[in-house]
Structure 1
């Protein structure tokens, strides 16, 4: 059996199986710890149903990641074998495979997987993709248009004339400043929407915001109650 692991003929299938295995492990670790904390700290009732809820959420999360891994890796293998694409177009192949996998798993078109979990994972990825796209566009802008910047002496220097450390430092300053504006706008909109039309926010975000900020009507007779001990 060990010869199967080193046989190139079985390598594509092993890649698919390994990716699905890693999806199960990663999804299980992430969701189990998160669901356990949420159920123990913020939900009441008998312990057994809450633990069952933790295990169910863990299973659903693992299923989502493993299923997408299987479909994505299989789609890549199939598309690589197509003559009109071939291995020279790997970026396009991976884009198409990712879109196909997400159509099956994350889009909820077929209702095979837990909607709340696919929604959360997609939103998580979207924020990372948005930041990554911003960095890519910045790099392309700097490389193509070669803007000029003033140094500490007040002299104008083109981007291409900066050394690697200076370019890295400049990008870091731009990332830092753009992140500040992004964070300000995001949280300003979140608080505005929560006050204006909270039903449009994701339920977990809405519930956490209600728990943290809606304390005007709370009352406490002792400091022990106030501190929640």
Structure 2
């Protein structure tokens, strides 16, 4: 069934507006908000679902509420960050008449300060995710620019060994320094595997129903 003429006219007007370059920066900010919201849901919902049902106690209603809250917070913050970053970046470029590398840093700096500055579990996870990747990227950039030496041998295996050695040492002797979800994962792997009472909680359950 064909759409009503009024709706067709509206869609044509909207499509015409979207194709006009003069509004591209403003429309890109709106599209960025949309993409941030969608991506936040895609990333957080599966993670929150798995972590909540694996490690969180409480009723089904409480677990679902926790999943929805975490997903909403991540999606909202990311959408608002993309909106803020793209808006500030476009504003700086418009004011100065050209784009500079510093515009990118300043726009993201302000957006991060406003949207991800609160110290909570979700922001901590996002920041740690970014920290590891930024450090990797900076090392590669340093080698590319000649600030860091290029090693003849591949040090990936050594790097891996050091990281795993450090994380288990921190877990065993300085556990509070690790992020809570990492503590939960490592407790399940390395401590809960030391405890059982019979075949049921040795192979089937992590902990027997009677021990919960």
Same fold by TM (over 0.5)? yes
Equivalent of 1:181 in 152, 158, 162: 158
Structure-2 residue corresponding to 1:97: 107
| Count of aligned positions | 192
Structure-2 residue corresponding to 1:87: 98
- Say whether 1:193 aligns with 2:170: yes
**Matches for 1:154-169 after TM superposition, within 5 Å:** none
Superimposed CA distance per residue, residues 30-85 of structure 1 (whole angstroms, 9 cap, x where no aligned partner)? 111111122223334322221121111110110111011011001101110233xx
Superimposed CA distance per residue, residues 16-37 of structure 1 (whole angstroms, 9 cap, x where no aligned partner)? 1111101111110111111112
Following superposition, the deviation at residue 132 of structure 1 comes to 1.0
**Matches for 1:21-36 after TM superposition, within 5 Å:** 21-36=34-49
Structure-2 residue corresponding to 1:211: 188
Following superposition, the deviation at residue 216 of structure 1 comes to 6.7
The 4+ residue runs of structure 1 with deviation greater than 4 A are none
Write the distance in 2 (CA, Å) between the matches of 1:132 and 1:29: 24
Structure with more contact order per residue of length (Cα contacts < 8 Å, sep ≥ 6): 2
Structure-1 residue corresponding to 2:208: none
Structure 2, unmatched stretches of 5+, are 1-12, 206-212
Give the root-mean-square deviation of aligned CA atoms: 2.3
Instruction: Give the TM-score taking structure 2 as reference length.
Output: 0.81
Structure 1, unmatched stretches of 5+, are 109-113, 148-170
Write the distance in 1 (CA, Å) between the matches of 2:108 and 2:203: 47
- In the alignment, is the contact (CA less than 8 A) between 1:64 and 1:118 conserved in 2? no
Structure-1 residue corresponding to 2:70: 57
Equivalent of 2:117 in 87, 107, 123: 107
Structure-1 residue corresponding to 2:134: 129
- Say whether 1:75 aligns with 2:100: no
Following superposition, the deviation at residue 197 of structure 1 comes to 1.6
Superimposed CA distance per residue, residues 84-134 of structure 1 (whole angstroms, 9 cap, x where no aligned partner)? xx4242x221111111111111222xxxxx721111111101111111111
Equivalent of 1:225 in 198, 201, 207: 201
Write the distance in 1 (CA, Å) between the matches of 2:54 and 2:120: 24
Write the distance in 2 (CA, Å) between the matches of 1:120 and 1:42: 16
Superimposed CA distance per residue, residues 139-193 of structure 1 (whole angstroms, 9 cap, x where no aligned partner)? 2229x99x8xxxxxxxxxxxxxxxxxxxxxxx9x75xx23222222212111112
